[in-house]
Structure 1
Amino acid sequence: MKLISFLNQGVPSYGIVDGDEVLDLTPILGTQAPDLKTLIAKDLLGAAAEAAKTHQPTLKFSQLELLPVIPNPGQIFCIGLNYGEHVQETGHKVTEAPAIFLRLPESQVAHGQDILRPAESHRLDYEAEIAIVIGKGGRRIQEEDAWDHIAGYSCYNDGSVRDWQVATSQWTPGKNFYRTGGFGPWLVSSDEIAPGQVMHMQTILNGQVLQDTTTDKMIHSIPRQIAYISSFTPLSPGDVIVTGTPGGVGNKRSPQIFMKPGDICEIVVDAIGTLRNGIRDDA
């Protein structure tokens, strides 16, 4: 099942994607689940699937203005330096614990929306990643139980303003410029992706493949990430974990490649789909 958040005539809603058609779930589930985060929190994915069997879609996917998959996440955790080639190209060392930073919801855009290159810097880099959305919350989740806490998977472009990222030892500013990260196009429910399934991930910028890897090359596995994060803070339904980028980032290429106005950046994951964003200057 593919689930999206979107605006329907300016009103936030969410639904199920079937080809180029969308079943709007808001009028079906009403106050029981006013948004996708609530649907997940109330464990109503099964009810959504049943609704798809008895209701016909009435909207066209191509005509909708999408929102980031979870527009209102409580927490967004990002895993840094989680692929060996990326660790090597950045000159860092593999650490026993995952490197973690946070993103703000305002730093995100949806599939089909433009990522904004800030006026403060033109060193706007791409990072292909897979995002997981927590379905069942918990504290001190064990690795062997972690797969049961995932609602689904999405594509993510962890757009990074590199000079602001490395200006100090803390990465927060360079990872949180307004509307620099892409999140979408949809959430593929966890029943469609097997626990530990190897996924193929690429960044394609203007038709050129710049990152290309598979998820079995992660240093810290998805269960390890969930267990580690939930050891220091409770995870809640709708929280997002962005699981790391491989080697090939533009900042470490020779010559360097940064995203610029007019570019089209695609994050492609075989089991999920394609997140596509244009690039333009922030006004």
Structure 2
Amino acid sequence: MKLLQFYHLLDANKTVQVGVLIRESTVIQLNVNGNMRDFISNLASSTICRKDIEQQIEHAKVIYELNEIKLLSPLTNPEKIICIGLNYYDHVIESKMEVPKKPVLFPKYNNCIVGNNDIVWIPEEVQQCDYEVELAVVIGKAAKQVPLEKAMDYVFGYTVLNDVSARDIQLNEPQWTRGKTIDTFAPMGPWIVTVDEIPDPQQLSISLTLNGNVMQLSNTKELIFNVPYLISFLSNTITLQPGDIISTGTPPGVGMGKNPQVWLKHGDVTEATIEGIGTLRNRFISRK
């Protein structure tokens, strides 16, 4: 299933709804309590089950076309967004850093989250704004000290995340957090594809275009630390909760690694695409 969050364009209250995309442009509104994070938590606690959702789809009462709704980020309030740095070999090389022996971790926060077709705002302070397409893993149930062979049992689904980065802040301060957690610097979407539709997250084409030009093109098979390893590794010390996001790192081709370097500027448009999931499109606007 392709699950999404939205509100109807004629709804003055902009009430957030959870829906499922069927065919290419039709959305069925689901009768669920709360937002996507609540929905995932209720599935985990058996408050609702997949059969309930399938029956709602079969007997749909509220149906929209995509042009009738405002598509939001599929998750707007995860408890945690844990990002993995330097997780593709070629990206490590272009970054002129050493291959990590353990995953490199940094956070993003909910203030960073925007959705498909939303604007990413570049602060006046930032002169070196960069793009990073990433496979984001959505956790489906509480995970603590998970053995490697059981790790995939804890995945709810996958989405696309653009780990927008202010390199001039990130690389000139003692830690990466401020340069990674600027408002709107985590576009995510357009929806969550449930785990049953992605047989192997380590075999997905991943790419990003800037104004229509291909900048990143790789495959998730090139990950240094794969999805089950990351879930097991993190859960040994951090209890993962339903709706938590692990963003698995970016492949080579970032603006910092180009010669000459390429920085996002006012009016630029990125399209981040992952096979089997979809395309996340965002425009960048400079704040003055």
TM category (shorter chain) comes to over 0.9
User: How far does residue 197 in structure 1 lie from its aligned partner after superposition?
Assistant: 4.8
SS in 1 for 2:236: helix
Q: Give the Cα–Cα distance (whole angstroms) in 1 for the partners of residues 84 and 202 of structure 2.
A: 19
1:15 aligns to 2:40 (yes or no): no
Asked if 1 retains the 8 angstrom alpha-carbon contact of 2:89 and 2:223, the reply is yes
**Map of 1:252 onto structure 2:** 257
Amino acid at match of 1:15: G
**Normalising to structure 1: TM-score of the pair?**
0.95
Q: Give the Cα–Cα distance (whole angstroms) in 2 for the partners of residues 282 and 54 of structure 1.
A: 46
Alignment match of 2:124 (pick from 119, 144, 155): 119
Q: How is 1:170-249 mapped onto 2 (pairs within 5 angstroms)?
A: 170-249=175-254
**Map of 2:142 onto structure 1:** 137
**Map of 1:52 onto structure 2:** 57
Q: Once structures 1 and 2 are overlaid, which stretch shifts more, 125-134 or 259-268?
A: 259-268
SS in 2 for 1:42: helix
User: How far does residue 5 in structure 1 lie from its aligned partner after superposition?
Assistant: 1.0
Q: Give the Cα–Cα distance (whole angstroms) in 2 for the partners of residues 48 and 114 of structure 1.
A: 32
**Normalising to structure 2: TM-score of the pair?**
0.93
User: Aligned pair count?
Assistant: 278
- Residues 153-177 of structure 1, C-alpha deviation per residue, up to 9 Å, x if partnerless? 0011000011111112310011011
Q: Once structures 1 and 2 are overlaid, which stretch shifts more, 136-145 or 81-90?
A: 136-145
Q: How is 1:23-38 mapped onto 2 (pairs within 5 angstroms)?
A: 23-25=28-30, 28-29=31-32, 33-38=33-38
Query: Sequence identity of aligned pairs in percent?
Result: 34
- Residues 216-243 of structure 1, C-alpha deviation per residue, up to 9 Å, x if partnerless? 1000011111111111110000000000
| Structure 1 residues not aligned, in runs of 5+ | none
1:168 aligns to 2:173 (yes or no): yes
Q: Once structures 1 and 2 are overlaid, which stretch shifts more, 9-18 or 211-220?
A: 9-18
SS in 2 for 1:11: coil
User: How far does residue 45 in structure 1 lie from its aligned partner after superposition?
Assistant: 5.6
- Residues 14-37 of structure 1, C-alpha deviation per residue, up to 9 Å, x if partnerless? 111122111111xx23xxx31111
| Structure 2 residues not aligned, in runs of 5+ | none
Amino acid at match of 1:2: K
SS in 2 for 1:79: strand
Asked if 2 retains the 8 angstrom alpha-carbon contact of 1:147 and 1:195, the reply is no
Please report the RMSD computed on the Cα atoms of aligned residues, expressed in angstroms. Answer: 1.3
- Residues 164-219 of structure 1, C-alpha deviation per residue, up to 9 Å, x if partnerless? 11112310011011112210000001011114450000011111100011011000
SS in 2 for 1:232: coil
Q: Give the Cα–Cα distance (whole angstroms) in 2 for the partners of residues 45 and 275 of structure 1.
A: 28
Q: Give the Cα–Cα distance (whole angstroms) in 1 for the partners of residues 49 and 162 of structure 2.
A: 26
Asked if 1 retains the 8 angstrom alpha-carbon contact of 2:202 and 2:223, the reply is no
